Amino acid sequence: MHILFYNAKAYDKEFFTQANQHFQHDIRFVDAKLNIDTVDLINDEKAICLFVNECADREVMKRLSQVGVQLIALRCAGFNNVDIKAAHEFGITVVRVPAYSPYAVAEHTLGLMLSLNRKIHRAYNRVRDGNFALDGLLGFDFHGRTAGIIGTGRIGALVAKLLRGMGMKVVAYDPQHHPDSDALGIHYVSLADLFAQSDVISLHCPLTPDTHHMIGKQALQSMKQGAMLINTSRGALLDTQAVIHSLKSKHLGYLGLDVYEQESELFFEDFSCDIIQDDIFERLLTFPNVLITSHQGFFTKEALQNIADTTLNNIKQFEKLSIAQQPIELSNMVTVNA
Ligand code: NAD
C-alpha cells in the first residue's frame, strides 16, 4: 500500500525502512506534521502514518477524505489527538499500536523517580564542574515508602512491580482492577486515599475528558507535603499552573515529567538556538526539584522495532480486507467507543 509518513525523524526512517523489507509497502517520508495546510503533501497515498502530537481534527479529517485517504495508521498507543468520531463519519479507518514495550515507559518512569530523589541530574553537572560537595543532594530511601499508581494497565502494573521490587508499598486507583493485583502486591484504594497515603504518585491512565486536569489544585492540596509526582502518560492530566503553584509553595516536593500539556509546540524538535516562548514551561525549568524529558519514555530499540512491525502489519491487514471488499474489522482499530 502507498503510505505517507508525516513528521518522520531519522529514527522513524531507519526502523520503518528496515521493517518494510518484510512488508514491501510503498512508503514516503516527510518532515512536516499533519495539519490542514500539509494535507496537500499527499499524492496518491491512501494511508498516512502519524505520531502523538499531530492534529487530526474534524477539519483535517474532512480534507483527508476529500484527497482519498482511507486509513490513518498511528505509530503510537494514544489517540487523543485524533477525532475518531469525525474519522468514522468520513469513512477513514484509524489503527494504532496499543502495546509495543510497556517496559520502555515503566523503566523510564523509574529512572525519573530515582534521578529526582537522588538528584542525579544535578550531581552530574556538579561533578563536571569540579564541585564534589553533597549539600542539597540529600535523598530518601524508597524502601518502606508508599507509591500511588493511577491507572494499573500495562505500564502502571509494571511500574508497580518495579517499585514493589524496591520494597515499596503500592496503592492504586483504577476503575478496572488488574486481574493479577494480588500477585503484584497492588492494594486498590480511593483516589482521595491514594493522594493522602502516597510519597510517590505516578500517572498511567489515558487522557480522556474525565481525566483531563485530574491533578489540579484540590488533588495537589490533598497530597502529602513533599510528595513526588511523576507523569509519563499525557501532559493534560495535570493542570500545569496548579502544579507550579504547589511547587512554589513547597507543598509538592518533586515533579518528574515526560509529557507536557503544550508539548506539541516543543517536543521532538531542536529549539536550542531559539527563544522559547512558552513561559509556563520555562517557569517549570527554574525549579531545582523538577526534571523534564521530552516524551522519550517509549524510545528504546525494542519499542521502535515493535512499533514499526505492528504499524506496517496493521496497514497490511487493512489492505487485504479492502482488496477483498470485506468489512474492515481489525484488532488494533480505534473505534468511536474506545
Ligand atoms: P492501558 O490501556 O494498558 O492502561 C490504562 C489504564 O488506565 C487502564 O487500566 C484503565 O482502566 C485505566 N484508567 C482509565 N481511566 C482511568 C481513571 N479515570 N483513573 C485511573 N485509571 C484509569 O495503557 P498503557 O499501555 O498502560 O499506557 C498508559 C498511558 O501511557 C497511555 O494512555 C499513554 O497516554 C501513555 N504512554 C506514554 C508513553 C511515553 O512515551 N511517555 C508511551 C506509551 C504510552
Please give the distance, rounded to the nearest whole angstrom, from the Cα atom of residue 240 to the centre of ligand 1: 19
Residue 225 and residue 216: Cα distance in Å, rounded? 15
Residue 214 and residue 201: Cα distance in Å, rounded? 13
Per CATH, which fold does 102-292 belong to? Rossmann fold (3.40.50)
Q: Percentage of residues in the chain with pLDDT exceeding 70?
A: 100
Domain 2-100+300-323 sits in CATH at 3.40.50.720
Residue 274 and residue 266: Cα distance in Å, rounded? 11
In the structure, what pLDDT confidence band is assigned to residue 49 with cuts at 50, 70 and 90?
Answer: very high
Residue 272 and residue 36: Cα distance in Å, rounded? 27
Instruction: Establish whether residue 45 lines the binding site of ligand 1, counting it when its CB lies within 6 angstroms of any ligand atom.
Output: no
Beta bridge partners of 256: 230, 291
φ, ψ at 17 (rounded to 5°) = -65, -40
For the segment 255-293, what is each residue's pLDDT rounded down to a tens digit? 999 999 999 889 999 999 999 999 999 999 999 999 999
Q: Ligand 1 pocket check: which of 158, 173, 188, 205 to mutate, most ligand atoms within 8 Å of Cβ?
A: 205
> Active-site residue 204, yes or no?
no
Q: Provide the b/e sequence for 93-121 (b: ≥16 CB within 10 Å).
A: bbbbbbebbbebbbebbbbbbebbbebee
Q: Measured from the CA of 208, which atom of ligand 1 is nearest?
A: 15
Nearest CA owner, ligand 1 atom 12: 151
Residue 53 has pLDDT above 80, yes or no: yes
Residue 223 and residue 215: Cα distance in Å, rounded? 10
Cβ within 8 Å of residue 175, ≥6 positions away: none
In the structure, what pLDDT confidence band is assigned to residue 46 with cuts at 50, 70 and 90?
Answer: very high
Nearest CA owner, ligand 1 atom 32: 206
242-245 contacts: CB < 8 A, separation 24 or more?
242/213, 242/215, 242/216, 242/217, 243/215, 243/284, 244/280, 244/283, 244/284, 245/217, 245/220
Residue 338 has pLDDT above 80, yes or no: no
* Weakest mean pLDDT among 81-95, 193-207, 211-225, 320-334: 320-334
Contact 78, 52 (CB under 8 A): yes
Residue 285 grid coordinates? 525549568
φ, ψ at 253 (rounded to 5°) = -90, -30
Contact 199, 147 (CB under 8 A): yes
Instruction: Establish whether residue 234 lines the binding site of ligand 1, counting it when its CB lies within 6 angstroms of any ligand atom.
Output: yes
In the structure, what pLDDT confidence band is assigned to residue 57 with cuts at 50, 70 and 90?
Answer: very high
Q: What is the pLDDT of residue 175?
A: 97
Instruction: Establish whether residue 79 lines the binding site of ligand 1, counting it when its CB lies within 6 angstroms of any ligand atom.
Output: no
Average pLDDT of the chain, as a whole number: 96
Nearest CA owner, ligand 1 atom 2: 153
Residue 101 grid coordinates? 514495550
Residue 35 has pLDDT above 80, yes or no: yes
For the segment 175-220, what is each residue's pLDDT rounded down to a tens digit? 999 999 999 999 999 999 999 999 999 999 999 999 999 999 999 9
- Among 75, 108, 178, 234, the active-site one is 234
> Active-site residue 295, yes or no?
yes
> Active-site residue 263, yes or no?
yes
In the structure, what pLDDT confidence band is assigned to residue 117 with cuts at 50, 70 and 90?
Answer: very high
Instruction: Establish whether residue 219 lines the binding site of ligand 1, counting it when its CB lies within 6 angstroms of any ligand atom.
Output: no
User: Vertex 249, ends 248 and 254: CA angle to 5°?
Assistant: 65
Q: Ligand 1 pocket check: which of 204, 213, 332 to mutate, most ligand atoms within 8 Å of Cβ?
A: 204
Residue 135 has pLDDT above 70, yes or no: yes
Q: What is the pLDDT of residue 156?
A: 98
Contact 38, 63 (CB under 8 A): no
Check for a shared fold between 2-100+300-323 and 102-292.
Answer: yes
Residue 307 and residue 16: Cα distance in Å, rounded? 9
What are the sequence ranges of the domains in the chain? 2-100+300-323, 102-292
Cβ within 8 Å of residue 251, ≥6 positions away: 220, 221, 223, 225, 226
Q: What is the pLDDT of residue 8?
A: 97
